Structure 1
Amino acid sequence: MSFRTGKDFEFDPINGTNIIAREIGFKQTTFYNSTLTGTHKIDALGGFTVNWYGSFGILDQYIPLLQRLQYNQYTNLPGSPYLALISNGLSQKSGSVFYSTLSDYLYNAGGDISKSFTLFGQNKR
């Protein structure tokens, strides 16, 4: 749960609007990552080296309920009450409720093969 107070300059860019805002929510995030690598030297065909790697990752996030609400007090009306900012738009300020479930599975693999040779009297790979 978080509470914010201060000024919002979106509606009144010169003087700003006094705000009181709250957010109530729970978020659970799980992250897992693993990597496996290997290097193999093979003597066949004059000798070469094989390098390989692979990885796997999981990113899960669960937000069962996130509620946000902002109250504005207009500075041009002294003593005016704070009014809830509610609309039918998609703004996160205007009385929004948000639900989310995220499941990402990440796979990665690769490798290379190298062989040493002599060029102009120098060993190259």
Structure 2
Amino acid sequence: MLRLITITAISMISAACSSVEYRATYDQCLVEAYDRYPANLQLMQTECSRDVEVDTGKTECVTTYAENEKRTVCGPLFETVTETYQCDVERDTNREARELFARSCAANRCLETFGNRECETD
């Protein structure tokens, strides 16, 4: 299932700027690429970041007037800061090799069939 989703996603990305013939050739090559370089998901530790609200130690007050009554409400003032932390992410260690193989395979097949590496028919 993951393989099908990944193939579909990569095909959609490559579809944005290529001919129908190139996409079809690339899709065929991608199947071969997955046979040679199957998904190899590894858990890796990396540095991640997130935004957190931090109390500045200052207070902000808002005063309102209604029906001859003055009302002041105060509360802490916060600021957003970026915090880094160690996190585990799943990475496919074969992804780059697989994509390189598929692109090279498609370019070579296009060259053989259409006389150019983009499968252009013009």
TM-score higher than 0.5? no
**Could you say which structure has the greater relative contact order, defined with CA pairs below 8 angstroms and 6 or more residues apart?**
2
Q: Quick check: which has more Rg, 1 or 2?
A: 1
Q: Whose strand fraction is larger, Structure 1's or Structure 2's?
A: 1
TM-score (norm 1): 0.29
Structure with the higher helix share, 1 or 2: 2
TM-score (norm 2): 0.30
